[in-house]
Amino acid sequence: MEIQGYKITRCIGQGGMAAAFLAEQTSLGRKVVLKILDTSIHDSPQTVERFLNEGRIVAGLQHPHIITIYDVGRAGNQIYISMEYVDGGDLKSRLQQQKTLNPAEALEIVRKIASGLAVAHANGIVHRDVKPGNVLFRKDGTPLLSDFGIAKRLQTDGDLTATGVFVGSPNYMAPEQADFAPIDARADIYSLGVILYEMLTGMKPYQSSSVVDVIYQHREAPIPRLPAPLAPFQEMIDVMLAKDRERRFPNCEALMRYIADLKRTKGYKDLAKTAAVPEFTTTGTFEATDTTISSVSLDRLPKPPRVRRAVWIALAGAALAYGAVYLADRHINAPPAPPRPATAAELEAPPPAQTGQAAGPQEREVVSALLWLGQHSLNENRLTAPPKDNAHYYFSRLLQLEPDNAEAKRGLVRIARGYAMLAEREVAQDHYELARRYISIGLQIDPGNEALLVLRDLATPTSHGFLDTVRGLFKKS
């Protein structure tokens, strides 16, 4: 792969839509990250628009705690974004290694990320996917907000998903995101509150082996209590994680003002004495005192409502009626893995559909969750494996509930297309046995896929190799 003006060193990340490469911008001799979308594979207008959306949005934001975009361009079939190379890791990895951060450091990370979000929000942009994996660090410890791939312009953009699926990561998703309700800056504040809770305790506030249950807990469960030593943070957590966004901080400026006030309290000072913040050299921070917006009067904020017992009874009924969709927490946050093919025998069928159930709110919730899980699995290349946590399983389960669901049908077509691309690659390298395996799985899913039918004829061992086989087909015609 060649992109003029850049010397690509190696691949450093692979997602369902794009790959990231470490490269050198030859004209300036600086390291950059090239995020590359191959339009010969991902050619839908929605995918291309979502990719370009990130470059356009971030390029317009100049802030010391937002990743810097250098360039957006096209080279052949590739569309690329050139961005700042950050070599200090991310918050997700740091939490995996350390479990918790000291309270003063956690609060400072929240303040700095909030300052970056304040600039984005002031420009009419909501990030919608604030999570530890999207908080990067420079070597000096400066936190940066990255990955604006699903960010939304409040006034001008249509919803790039436009499919009625969840947008964001379930563990950090504000309740209104799960409800498909209009969102604003307060959704990002909620996600940042989840991150703060996780940095302080080493745990997410809501945990379950079922992603559906995690989403319901974000919507309905009481806000968890912090351990006694962390009590100075409880009020802040309560406001950031309020179910009703009207009870949250109205904006990031108000949040930063609250943090400044919190640092002056005796409870915080006593806590901070036991854990000092590492001395990082940071510059250009956005100070809360620059804003004219007054801080939130927390004593006047209504308390979060208690979860209704009837809601949980309804949810339990839904789980029994339709079957819970299980997705272990480690899978929710697992990094994308290469697609693992299943054998023909392993191409599992979903459990038998329930009969005699009336359609209702619970079924619609399960349909929405299955659609999100299917799309999420596709984006992480989990086409037909692992068992009961793959795109084929979720889309098939959805079609049992709604046999005419167009999104689920399109999802199955995309799975078959994925196997066609895998098979094509193996045929080109004369790996015919593996190619036939991919073709077999793909045709089980989409028997009419023309690319797979052509590849089935090509995936025959010959002494001539792939190119000679192709020439032979043309001679026959």
Q: 210-230 as b/e, with b when 16 or more CB fall inside 10 Å?
A: bbbbbbbbbbbbebbebeeeb
User: What is the phi/psi pair of residue 278, to 5°?
Assistant: -60, 145
DSSP conformation class of 460: S
In order, the DSSP letters of 84-106 are: E---S-BHHHHHHHHSS--HHHH
Give the span between the Cα atoms of 244 and 367, in whole angstroms. 24
- Annotated active-site residue in 38, 87, 129, 457: 129
Q: List CB contacts of 328: < 8 A, sequence separation 6 or more.
A: 209, 389
Dihedral, CA of residue 446, residue 448, residue 454 and residue 456, to nearest 10: 50
- DSSP symbol at 344: G
**187: phi then psi, degrees, rounded to nearest 5:** -65, -40
User: Which residue's entry shows tokens 């392993």?
Assistant: 346
Q: Are strands 19-25 and 6-14 parallel, antiparallel or unpaired?
A: antiparallel
- Chain-centre distance for alpha carbon 161: 13
Cβ atoms within 10 A of the Cβ of 43, count? Answer: 11
87 catalytic per annotation: no
Residues recognised as catalytic: 129
